Amino acid sequence: MSTINLNGTAHHPRNQSTATVAYLSFARSIMLIARREFRDALSSKWFLLYTIAFTTLAIGVSFMSLAGSGEHGFAGFGKTAAGLLNLIMLVVPLMALTAGAGTIAGERERGTLLYLLAQPLSRTELLLGKYVGLAIALICSLCIGFGLSAGLLAWRAGGVGAGSFLMLVVFTSVLALSMLALGVLISVQSRRAGVATGIALFVWLGLVFLSDLGLMAGTLLFKLRVQEVFALAIINPLQAFKMNVIINLNASLDVLGPVGMYASQEYGATLPWLLTGVIVLWCVLPLSIATLIFRKRGGI
């Protein structure tokens, strides 16, 4: 859209305004769907459940880790950070994958998808609108959980600084966006919400446990070199997320042993960008593929 806009600027003012209108209409359609999706999410059980679960767990982890640290101001890499990290890696992908998986497949199962597609909307607009709406709902849910646990940390003066904590929220949101995209990809391919959720759970298991365990086994069996372990590990967006968080808290990956030290020395300041790139790729690729599939497949 914007390229048309740029090309038309010099000679065809009329053309330009048409392009702008088209772009605005595109954005507005997406926002309308997003708003509807967001409202549905807020009134649905999953949003409430996820928000309560994530908030309770985040506060619980912060509280338990603070109980150990007592009056001391610092906590090294810290049980708070490590505990939150573990929690996020378990819960956030689960939230995002299942939320994404339910969206199109659910509407398809209930028959409401055909009604939506009958509206003067393109399929791309519908899909992206749903994605944006869910993304805002998820990030709100995360922010409430993080906000309350930040409140607890502030009250008890934990070891994590406010800047690092904010970055943790940002990284987690980006991770949630990529997992949501993956969930949406699962959803456009499924006819039933139950099947989509099942696949989402399997993908979650794979990303959280199986790929790491497999890579560990590979490292032990084949005596992989550090660069090989690193390259294989960062394919997994969860590992990339974890490294990004640790760099942010610790300035170096020395916590992660030889592989971490290799990564820090080899890539230096570009490492966070590399890792963020991996996660963003995990967001853009599934969403693009989902859009292509949805445009072809539509309501069925």
Convert residues 122-141 into a mask of x (bound to another protein by CB under 8 A) and - (unbound): --------------x--xxx
Minimum Å distance from CB 220 to another protein? Answer: 5
CA-wise closest residue to 64 among 149, 143, 142? 149
Number of residues assigned to the chain: 300
Residue number, 10 or 163, with CB nearest to another protein: 163
Q: Which stretch binds another protein (CB under 8 A): 2-10, 30-38, 185-193, 273-281?
A: 30-38
**Closer residue to another protein (CB): 10 or 73:** 73
Stretch that binds another protein, among 157-165, 187-195, 278-286, 292-300 (CB under 8 A): 157-165
Q: Which of residues 264-283 bind another protein (CB under 8 A)?
A: none
Neighbours of 180 (CB within 10 A): 30
* Ramachandran sector of residue 76 (left: φ over 0; alpha: ψ -120 to 50; beta: rest): left
Per-residue interface string for the shown chain with another protein, residues 186-225, x marking contact by CB under 8 A? ----------------------xx--xx-xx--xx--xx-
Percent helix, strand, coil in the chain (nearest 5)?
Answer: 85, 0, 15
Please, which of residues 36-95 interact with another protein by CB under 8 A?
36, 38-39, 42, 65, 68-69, 71-79, 82, 85-86, 89-90
Q: Which stretch binds another protein (CB under 8 A): 158-166, 183-191, 193-201, 271-279?
A: 158-166
CA distance 134 to 103: 9
Which one among 2, 120, 269, 300 touches another protein, defined by CB under 8 A?
Answer: 120
Listed as own residue / partner, the contacts of 207-212 with beta carbons closer than 8 Å and 24 or more positions apart are: 207/93, 207/236, 207/237, 207/238, 208/89, 208/90, 208/93, 208/238, 211/236, 212/236, 212/239
How far is residue 199 from each of residues 98, 109, 178, 261, 284, measured CA to CA in Å?
Answer: 9, 16, 16, 36, 20
Amino acid of residue 71:
E
Name which position in 127, 135, 153, 186 contacts another protein (CB under 8 A): 153
Which residue do the tokens 């209409």 mark?
25
Nearer to another protein, 29 or 197 (CB): 29
If the CB atoms of residues 89 and 196 are measured against another protein, the closer one turns out to be 89
Under rule CB under 8 A, residue 154 binds another protein: yes
Half-sphere exposure of 258 (CA within 13 A, CB side): 7
